[in-house]
């Protein structure tokens, strides 16, 4: 079974992270399947808008720490894993189609980053987001070192990264990081409604707007992705990385 499901609803493509048993945690197969799905959407003239969501009780719980040993086995495997993570941000932000996030449950670490990569976000009223990377000796990705200070300011962004405190949907709304907060069972329908409204706009104008905004962004975003990749590769390679990840994973599994 694929780790990502792609289905078309007229001009709207719904891309669903499909590892509900692992709260859609980010592993190698999911990264490859998600890239393939987004690549298909960005190259499909019948697709005007993408809705990104997750199956089960979470949007995405971040990196699958059960795969850390495999990901960190060699310099080549570390670099490959990080490049595949950053490729998703390029697919989401520099691709041809606008993306609406339908985000519920948990959006943690890389899941939080993917949420921030969306153009619009519909959040469930039970959404919880946080960055755990500083606690377990890793580094943020997804271009957020550029995106987040631009969105909420330097001090607030540093607070989210350094303290890693959990943020609920209303806090995210007040920061301007989500567009709508709705009951859990209304998240996907609300996102589909917004996507359908966008799909009714001129596809040429929408594409021009996205090229203009993201064209201005692409240089700074690309540089941030490069620097984040270097920092993350260094973090993966650190002598105590495995022990930090093991300790954090034990606490994380205990809260599932």
Supply the residues annotated as catalytic: 113, 133
Residue identified by tokens 């987040």 is: 148
Output the CA torsion sign for 95, 122, 140, 146: positive
């Amino acid at each position: 079974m694929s780790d990502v499901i792609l289905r078309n609803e007229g001009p709207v493509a719904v891309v669903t992270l499909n590892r509900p048993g692992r709260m859609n945690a980010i592993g190698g197969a999911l990264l490859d399947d998600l890239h393939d799905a987004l690549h298909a959407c960005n190259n499909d003239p019948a697709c005007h808008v993408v809705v990104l969501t997750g199956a089960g009780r979470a949007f995405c719980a971040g990196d699958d720490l059960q795969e850390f040993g495999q990901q960190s086995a060699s310099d080549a495997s570390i670099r490959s894993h990080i490049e595949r993570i950053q490729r998703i941000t390029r697919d989401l932000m520099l691709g041809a189609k606008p993306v609406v996030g339908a985000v519920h449950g948990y959006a943690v670490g890389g899941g939080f980053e993917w949420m921030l990569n969306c153009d619009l976000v519909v959040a469930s009223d039970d959404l919880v987001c946080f960055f755990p990377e500083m606690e377990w000796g890793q580094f943020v990705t997804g271009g957020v070192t550029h995106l987040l200070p631009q969105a909420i300011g330097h001090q607030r962004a540093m607070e989210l990264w350094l303290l890693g405190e959990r943020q609920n949907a209303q806090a995210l709304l007040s920061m301007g990081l989500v567009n709508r907060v709705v009951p859990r069972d209304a998240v996907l329908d609300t996102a589909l409604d917004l996507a359908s409204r966008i799909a009714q706009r001129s596809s040429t104008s929408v594409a021009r707007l996205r090229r203009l905004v993201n064209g201005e962004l692409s240089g700074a975003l690309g540089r941030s992705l490069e620097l984040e990749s270097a920092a993350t590769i260094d973090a993966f390679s650190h002598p105590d990385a495995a022990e930090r990840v093991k300790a954090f994973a034990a606490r994380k599994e205990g809260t599932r």
